[in-house]
Structure 1
Protein backbone atom coordinates (compact mmCIF):
# COMPACT_ATOMS: atom_id res chain seq x y z
CA UNK A 1 0.00 0.00 0.00
CA UNK A 2 2.84 2.38 0.80
CA UNK A 3 4.26 1.87 -2.72
CA UNK A 4 0.84 2.59 -4.22
CA UNK A 5 0.63 5.90 -2.33
CA UNK A 6 4.11 6.87 -3.51
CA UNK A 7 3.18 6.12 -7.12
CA UNK A 8 -0.05 8.11 -6.80
CA UNK A 9 1.85 11.08 -5.38
CA UNK A 10 4.44 10.80 -8.16
CA UNK A 11 1.78 10.64 -10.90
CA UNK A 12 -0.07 13.60 -9.35
CA UNK A 13 3.18 15.54 -9.21
CA UNK A 14 3.93 14.79 -12.89
CA UNK A 15 0.46 15.92 -14.00
CA UNK A 16 0.83 19.05 -11.90
CA UNK A 17 4.09 19.85 -13.65
CA UNK A 18 2.48 19.34 -17.04
CA UNK A 19 -0.40 21.63 -16.14
CA UNK A 20 1.97 24.22 -14.72
CA UNK A 21 4.19 24.17 -17.82
CA UNK A 22 1.16 24.78 -20.02
CA UNK A 23 0.93 28.21 -18.39
CA UNK A 24 4.29 29.09 -19.86
CA UNK A 25 3.43 28.91 -23.51
CA UNK A 26 3.64 31.80 -25.90
CA UNK A 27 0.60 31.93 -28.11
CA UNK A 28 -0.46 34.74 -30.42
CA UNK A 29 -3.10 36.96 -28.90
CA UNK A 30 -6.40 36.57 -30.75
CA UNK A 31 -7.40 39.43 -33.01
CA UNK A 32 -3.88 39.98 -34.33
CA UNK A 33 -1.93 38.37 -37.15
CA UNK A 34 0.27 35.50 -35.84
CA UNK A 35 3.63 37.32 -35.57
CA UNK A 36 2.11 40.52 -34.24
CA UNK A 37 0.00 38.45 -31.83
CA UNK A 38 3.17 36.92 -30.37
CA UNK A 39 4.71 40.36 -29.96
CA UNK A 40 1.53 41.60 -28.25
CA UNK A 41 1.71 38.62 -25.89
CA UNK A 42 5.29 39.53 -24.95
CA UNK A 43 4.57 43.25 -24.58
CA UNK A 44 1.55 42.57 -22.37
CA UNK A 45 3.39 39.97 -20.28
CA UNK A 46 6.24 42.37 -19.52
CA UNK A 47 3.87 45.24 -18.76
CA UNK A 48 1.84 43.12 -16.35
CA UNK A 49 4.98 41.87 -14.58
CA UNK A 50 6.40 45.37 -14.20
CA UNK A 51 3.04 46.71 -13.04
CA UNK A 52 2.76 43.98 -10.40
CA UNK A 53 6.19 44.96 -9.06
CA UNK A 54 5.48 48.68 -8.73
CA UNK A 55 1.72 49.22 -8.32
CA UNK A 56 1.85 49.48 -4.52
CA UNK A 57 4.82 51.85 -4.21
CA UNK A 58 4.33 55.00 -2.17
CA UNK A 59 5.58 58.43 -3.24
CA UNK A 60 8.97 58.14 -1.55
CA UNK A 61 9.56 54.74 -3.18
CA UNK A 62 8.42 56.01 -6.59
CA UNK A 63 10.90 58.93 -6.42
CA UNK A 64 13.74 57.07 -4.64
CA UNK A 65 17.20 57.41 -6.24
CA UNK A 66 20.00 55.42 -4.62
CA UNK A 67 22.83 57.57 -6.00
CA UNK A 68 23.41 60.57 -8.26
CA UNK A 69 23.72 58.44 -11.40
CA UNK A 70 20.64 56.29 -10.80
CA UNK A 71 17.07 56.82 -11.97
CA UNK A 72 13.90 56.58 -9.95
CA UNK A 73 11.26 53.96 -10.66
CA UNK A 74 8.94 56.78 -11.74
CA UNK A 75 11.45 58.04 -14.30
CA UNK A 76 12.12 54.51 -15.57
CA UNK A 77 8.40 53.96 -16.07
CA UNK A 78 8.08 57.29 -17.86
CA UNK A 79 10.98 56.21 -20.07
CA UNK A 80 9.05 53.05 -21.02
CA UNK A 81 5.96 55.16 -21.76
CA UNK A 82 8.02 57.56 -23.85
CA UNK A 83 9.74 54.80 -25.82
CA UNK A 84 6.48 53.07 -26.64
CA UNK A 85 4.75 56.33 -27.55
CA UNK A 86 7.63 57.22 -29.88
CA UNK A 87 7.63 53.88 -31.71
CA UNK A 88 3.84 53.81 -31.80
CA UNK A 89 3.64 57.17 -33.55
CA UNK A 90 6.68 56.52 -35.76
CA UNK A 91 5.62 53.04 -36.94
CA UNK A 92 1.84 52.83 -36.62
CA UNK A 93 1.00 56.39 -37.60
CA UNK A 94 4.13 56.97 -39.72
CA UNK A 95 4.74 60.48 -38.46
CA UNK A 96 6.80 62.40 -35.93
CA UNK A 97 5.64 63.53 -32.49
CA UNK A 98 3.47 66.62 -32.44
CA UNK A 99 4.57 69.45 -30.15
CA UNK A 100 1.89 68.38 -27.66
CA UNK A 101 3.06 64.74 -27.72
CA UNK A 102 6.68 65.79 -27.37
CA UNK A 103 5.81 67.96 -24.37
CA UNK A 104 3.77 65.16 -22.80
CA UNK A 105 6.04 62.16 -23.45
CA UNK A 106 9.42 63.59 -24.44
CA UNK A 107 10.62 64.21 -20.90
CA UNK A 108 10.96 60.45 -20.45
CA UNK A 109 12.92 59.90 -23.65
CA UNK A 110 16.30 60.74 -22.19
CA UNK A 111 17.10 59.61 -18.70
CA UNK A 112 19.07 62.74 -17.84
CA UNK A 113 19.33 65.49 -15.24
CA UNK A 114 16.27 67.33 -16.61
CA UNK A 115 14.08 64.24 -16.46
CA UNK A 116 15.35 63.39 -12.97
CA UNK A 117 14.32 66.83 -11.79
CA UNK A 118 10.93 66.97 -13.53
CA UNK A 119 9.83 63.40 -12.90
CA UNK A 120 9.29 63.74 -9.18
CA UNK A 121 6.22 64.10 -7.03
CA UNK A 122 3.86 62.10 -9.20
CA UNK A 123 2.29 58.95 -7.75
CA UNK A 124 3.08 55.59 -9.30
CA UNK A 125 -0.46 55.41 -10.65
CA UNK A 126 0.24 58.49 -12.80
CA UNK A 127 2.90 56.57 -14.73
CA UNK A 128 0.84 53.38 -14.88
CA UNK A 129 -2.17 55.30 -16.23
CA UNK A 130 -0.03 56.94 -18.92
CA UNK A 131 1.39 53.56 -19.87
CA UNK A 132 -2.10 52.08 -20.08
CA UNK A 133 -3.25 54.95 -22.29
CA UNK A 134 -0.29 54.52 -24.65
CA UNK A 135 -0.65 50.73 -24.65
CA UNK A 136 -4.34 50.86 -25.57
CA UNK A 137 -3.44 52.98 -28.59
CA UNK A 138 -0.58 50.62 -29.47
CA UNK A 139 -2.83 47.57 -29.32
CA UNK A 140 -5.50 49.24 -31.44
CA UNK A 141 -2.90 50.24 -34.03
CA UNK A 142 -1.28 46.81 -34.16
CA UNK A 143 -4.71 45.24 -34.78
CA UNK A 144 -4.89 47.12 -38.08
CA UNK A 145 -1.57 45.66 -39.30
CA UNK A 146 -0.62 42.23 -40.63
CA UNK A 147 2.51 40.09 -40.70
CA UNK A 148 3.50 41.34 -44.17
CA UNK A 149 3.59 44.88 -42.74
CA UNK A 150 5.46 43.59 -39.67
CA UNK A 151 8.21 42.14 -41.88
CA UNK A 152 8.45 45.21 -44.11
CA UNK A 153 11.01 47.95 -43.58
CA UNK A 154 10.47 51.14 -41.65
CA UNK A 155 13.61 52.37 -43.36
CA UNK A 156 16.63 50.83 -45.04
CA UNK A 157 18.10 49.26 -41.91
CA UNK A 158 15.07 48.40 -39.75
CA UNK A 159 11.82 46.52 -40.16
CA UNK A 160 8.66 47.01 -38.07
CA UNK A 161 9.19 43.71 -36.28
CA UNK A 162 12.59 44.88 -35.02
CA UNK A 163 11.11 48.22 -33.93
CA UNK A 164 8.55 46.47 -31.72
CA UNK A 165 11.11 43.92 -30.58
CA UNK A 166 13.13 46.92 -29.38
CA UNK A 167 10.14 48.23 -27.39
CA UNK A 168 9.74 44.79 -25.82
CA UNK A 169 13.45 44.39 -25.11
CA UNK A 170 13.51 47.90 -23.62
CA UNK A 171 10.81 46.89 -21.15
CA UNK A 172 12.73 43.75 -20.16
CA UNK A 173 15.95 45.73 -19.69
CA UNK A 174 14.34 48.38 -17.52
CA UNK A 175 12.40 45.75 -15.57
CA UNK A 176 15.81 44.67 -14.29
CA UNK A 177 16.71 48.24 -13.35
CA UNK A 178 13.38 48.65 -11.56
CA UNK A 179 14.13 45.48 -9.57
CA UNK A 180 17.55 46.88 -8.67
CA UNK A 181 16.06 50.16 -7.44
CA UNK A 182 13.40 48.28 -5.45
CA UNK A 183 16.14 46.19 -3.88
CA UNK A 184 17.89 49.38 -2.73
CA UNK A 185 14.79 50.98 -1.20
CA UNK A 186 15.11 51.89 2.44
CA UNK A 187 13.70 49.01 4.42
Structure 2
Protein backbone atom coordinates (compact mmCIF):
# COMPACT_ATOMS: atom_id res chain seq x y z
CA UNK A 1 0.00 0.00 0.00
CA UNK A 2 2.81 2.40 0.89
CA UNK A 3 4.41 1.82 -2.51
CA UNK A 4 1.15 2.68 -4.27
CA UNK A 5 0.87 5.92 -2.25
CA UNK A 6 4.46 6.82 -3.13
CA UNK A 7 3.87 6.17 -6.82
CA UNK A 8 0.62 8.13 -6.77
CA UNK A 9 2.33 11.07 -5.02
CA UNK A 10 5.17 11.03 -7.51
CA UNK A 11 2.72 10.95 -10.42
CA UNK A 12 0.77 13.88 -8.95
CA UNK A 13 4.00 15.90 -8.81
CA UNK A 14 5.13 14.88 -12.29
CA UNK A 15 1.90 15.49 -14.24
CA UNK A 16 1.87 19.30 -13.84
CA UNK A 17 5.49 19.48 -14.98
CA UNK A 18 4.71 17.40 -18.05
CA UNK A 19 1.63 19.44 -18.86
CA UNK A 20 3.51 22.69 -18.39
CA UNK A 21 5.99 21.92 -21.15
CA UNK A 22 4.00 19.16 -22.88
CA UNK A 23 7.06 16.92 -22.82
CA UNK A 24 9.44 15.57 -20.25
CA UNK A 25 12.66 15.26 -22.20
CA UNK A 26 15.29 17.41 -23.80
CA UNK A 27 15.52 17.14 -27.53
CA UNK A 28 18.35 18.11 -29.77
CA UNK A 29 17.26 20.83 -32.16
CA UNK A 30 17.61 19.80 -35.79
CA UNK A 31 20.38 21.52 -37.70
CA UNK A 32 22.86 21.35 -34.82
CA UNK A 33 25.17 18.62 -33.59
CA UNK A 34 23.60 16.60 -30.73
CA UNK A 35 25.16 18.35 -27.71
CA UNK A 36 24.86 21.84 -29.17
CA UNK A 37 21.30 21.03 -30.25
CA UNK A 38 20.38 20.18 -26.66
CA UNK A 39 21.86 23.46 -25.44
CA UNK A 40 19.94 25.33 -28.14
CA UNK A 41 16.77 23.58 -26.94
CA UNK A 42 17.39 24.77 -23.36
CA UNK A 43 18.33 28.31 -24.40
CA UNK A 44 15.24 28.63 -26.59
CA UNK A 45 12.96 27.13 -23.93
CA UNK A 46 14.11 29.64 -21.32
CA UNK A 47 13.91 32.58 -23.72
CA UNK A 48 10.39 31.57 -24.73
CA UNK A 49 9.28 31.23 -21.11
CA UNK A 50 10.77 34.59 -20.09
CA UNK A 51 9.29 36.29 -23.16
CA UNK A 52 5.87 34.83 -22.36
CA UNK A 53 6.11 36.23 -18.81
CA UNK A 54 7.03 39.77 -19.83
CA UNK A 55 5.74 40.45 -23.36
CA UNK A 56 2.52 42.15 -22.23
CA UNK A 57 4.00 44.41 -19.56
CA UNK A 58 3.18 48.09 -19.77
CA UNK A 59 5.80 50.82 -19.29
CA UNK A 60 5.28 51.21 -15.55
CA UNK A 61 5.62 47.45 -15.06
CA UNK A 62 8.73 47.25 -17.26
CA UNK A 63 10.43 50.00 -15.20
CA UNK A 64 9.03 49.06 -11.76
CA UNK A 65 11.49 48.96 -8.85
CA UNK A 66 10.14 47.45 -5.65
CA UNK A 67 12.93 49.06 -3.60
CA UNK A 68 16.04 51.18 -4.10
CA UNK A 69 18.32 48.15 -4.53
CA UNK A 70 16.10 46.26 -6.96
CA UNK A 71 16.43 45.89 -10.71
CA UNK A 72 13.59 46.46 -13.13
CA UNK A 73 12.33 43.74 -15.41
CA UNK A 74 13.55 45.80 -18.37
CA UNK A 75 17.07 46.00 -16.94
CA UNK A 76 17.11 42.25 -16.23
CA UNK A 77 16.07 41.38 -19.78
CA UNK A 78 18.70 43.81 -21.09
CA UNK A 79 21.24 42.12 -18.81
CA UNK A 80 20.37 38.79 -20.47
CA UNK A 81 20.90 40.44 -23.87
CA UNK A 82 24.29 41.79 -22.77
CA UNK A 83 25.43 38.48 -21.30
CA UNK A 84 24.48 36.44 -24.35
CA UNK A 85 25.96 38.97 -26.76
CA UNK A 86 29.25 39.04 -24.86
CA UNK A 87 29.66 35.26 -24.83
CA UNK A 88 28.37 34.88 -28.37
CA UNK A 89 30.97 37.26 -29.76
CA UNK A 90 33.77 35.92 -27.55
CA UNK A 91 33.14 32.22 -28.17
CA UNK A 92 31.65 32.08 -31.65
CA UNK A 93 33.63 34.88 -33.25
CA UNK A 94 36.72 34.94 -31.01
CA UNK A 95 36.81 38.69 -30.51
CA UNK A 96 35.66 41.53 -28.26
CA UNK A 97 32.69 43.82 -28.80
CA UNK A 98 33.11 46.65 -31.27
CA UNK A 99 32.27 50.11 -29.94
CA UNK A 100 28.94 49.93 -31.76
CA UNK A 101 28.11 46.48 -30.29
CA UNK A 102 29.11 47.62 -26.82
CA UNK A 103 26.79 50.63 -27.09
CA UNK A 104 23.91 48.55 -28.47
CA UNK A 105 24.15 45.30 -26.49
CA UNK A 106 26.70 45.74 -23.73
CA UNK A 107 25.07 48.46 -21.70
CA UNK A 108 23.81 46.08 -19.02
CA UNK A 109 26.72 43.70 -18.68
CA UNK A 110 26.80 44.95 -15.12
CA UNK A 111 23.70 46.49 -13.59
CA UNK A 112 24.54 49.49 -11.42
CA UNK A 113 22.91 52.85 -10.67
CA UNK A 114 24.15 54.44 -13.91
CA UNK A 115 22.85 51.54 -15.98
CA UNK A 116 19.52 51.53 -14.13
CA UNK A 117 19.04 55.22 -14.91
CA UNK A 118 19.75 54.56 -18.62
CA UNK A 119 17.35 51.61 -18.83
CA UNK A 120 14.10 53.48 -18.29
CA UNK A 121 11.27 54.57 -20.50
CA UNK A 122 11.82 51.86 -23.10
CA UNK A 123 8.97 49.43 -23.79
CA UNK A 124 9.52 45.75 -23.05
CA UNK A 125 9.39 45.16 -26.82
CA UNK A 126 12.63 47.15 -27.15
CA UNK A 127 14.50 44.69 -24.93
CA UNK A 128 12.84 41.63 -26.45
CA UNK A 129 13.70 42.77 -29.99
CA UNK A 130 17.36 43.21 -29.00
CA UNK A 131 17.29 39.73 -27.48
CA UNK A 132 15.81 38.37 -30.72
CA UNK A 133 18.68 40.00 -32.67
CA UNK A 134 21.32 38.54 -30.39
CA UNK A 135 19.69 35.11 -30.30
CA UNK A 136 19.49 34.95 -34.09
CA UNK A 137 23.26 35.56 -34.27
CA UNK A 138 23.84 32.96 -31.53
CA UNK A 139 21.81 30.33 -33.38
CA UNK A 140 23.56 31.05 -36.67
CA UNK A 141 26.97 30.88 -35.01
CA UNK A 142 26.24 27.65 -33.13
CA UNK A 143 25.25 25.99 -36.42
CA UNK A 144 28.83 26.46 -37.61
CA UNK A 145 30.24 24.57 -34.60
CA UNK A 146 30.28 20.90 -33.68
CA UNK A 147 30.31 18.85 -30.49
CA UNK A 148 34.09 18.49 -30.61
CA UNK A 149 34.40 22.28 -30.49
CA UNK A 150 31.72 22.42 -27.76
CA UNK A 151 33.75 20.07 -25.54
CA UNK A 152 37.08 21.76 -26.28
CA UNK A 153 38.72 24.13 -23.84
CA UNK A 154 38.78 27.85 -24.33
CA UNK A 155 41.40 27.86 -21.60
CA UNK A 156 42.55 25.29 -19.07
CA UNK A 157 39.53 24.06 -17.13
CA UNK A 158 36.97 26.06 -19.10
CA UNK A 159 35.24 24.61 -22.16
CA UNK A 160 32.72 26.12 -24.54
CA UNK A 161 29.92 23.89 -23.26
CA UNK A 162 30.36 25.28 -19.75
CA UNK A 163 30.30 28.85 -21.05
CA UNK A 164 26.98 28.22 -22.83
CA UNK A 165 25.68 26.38 -19.78
CA UNK A 166 26.46 29.58 -17.86
CA UNK A 167 24.46 31.65 -20.36
CA UNK A 168 21.56 29.19 -19.98
CA UNK A 169 21.68 29.13 -16.16
CA UNK A 170 21.95 32.92 -16.14
CA UNK A 171 18.59 33.07 -17.92
CA UNK A 172 17.08 30.62 -15.45
CA UNK A 173 18.31 32.65 -12.46
CA UNK A 174 16.96 35.90 -13.83
CA UNK A 175 13.69 34.23 -14.78
CA UNK A 176 13.20 33.69 -11.05
CA UNK A 177 13.99 37.32 -10.29
CA UNK A 178 11.56 38.46 -12.98
CA UNK A 179 8.83 36.31 -11.43
CA UNK A 180 9.54 37.85 -8.01
CA UNK A 181 9.30 41.38 -9.44
CA UNK A 182 6.05 40.52 -11.23
CA UNK A 183 4.62 39.28 -7.92
CA UNK A 184 5.45 42.65 -6.36
CA UNK A 185 3.95 44.81 -9.11
CA UNK A 186 1.32 47.21 -7.80
CA UNK A 187 -2.17 45.84 -8.28
Q: TM-score, normalised by structure 1?
A: 0.88
Q: Which residue number in structure 1 is paired with residue 7 of structure 2?
A: none
The separation in 1 between residues aligned to 2:124 and 2:99, in whole angstroms, is: 25
1:12 maps to none
CA deviation vs aligned residue, 1:138-180 (integer Å, no higher than 9, x gap): 0000000000000001112310000000000000000000001
**1-structure distance, mates of 2:49, 2:170:** 14
Q: Secondary structure at the match of 1:141?
A: helix
Gaps of 5+ in 1: 1-16
Query: Which residue number in structure 1 is paired with residue 10 of structure 2?
Result: none
1:58 aligns with 2:58: yes
Residue in 1 aligned with 2:107? 107
How many residues matched? 170
Q: Which TM-score applies when normalising by structure 2?
A: 0.88
Partner residue of 2:28? 28
2:172 equivalent in structure 1: 172
3-state SS of paired residue (1:26): coil
- SS at the partner of 2:67? coil
* Aligned residue number for residue 183 of structure 2: 183
| Equivalent residue runs for 1:38-53 within 5 Å | 38-53=38-53
Q: Which runs of 4+ in 1 moved over 4 A?
A: 19-22
CA RMSD in angstroms comes to 1.3
Moved more, 114-123 or 19-28: 19-28
Aligned position for 1:9 = none
CA distance in 2, matches of 1:22, 1:68: 39
Further displaced range: 150-159 or 67-76: 150-159
Secondary structure of 1:154's counterpart equals strand
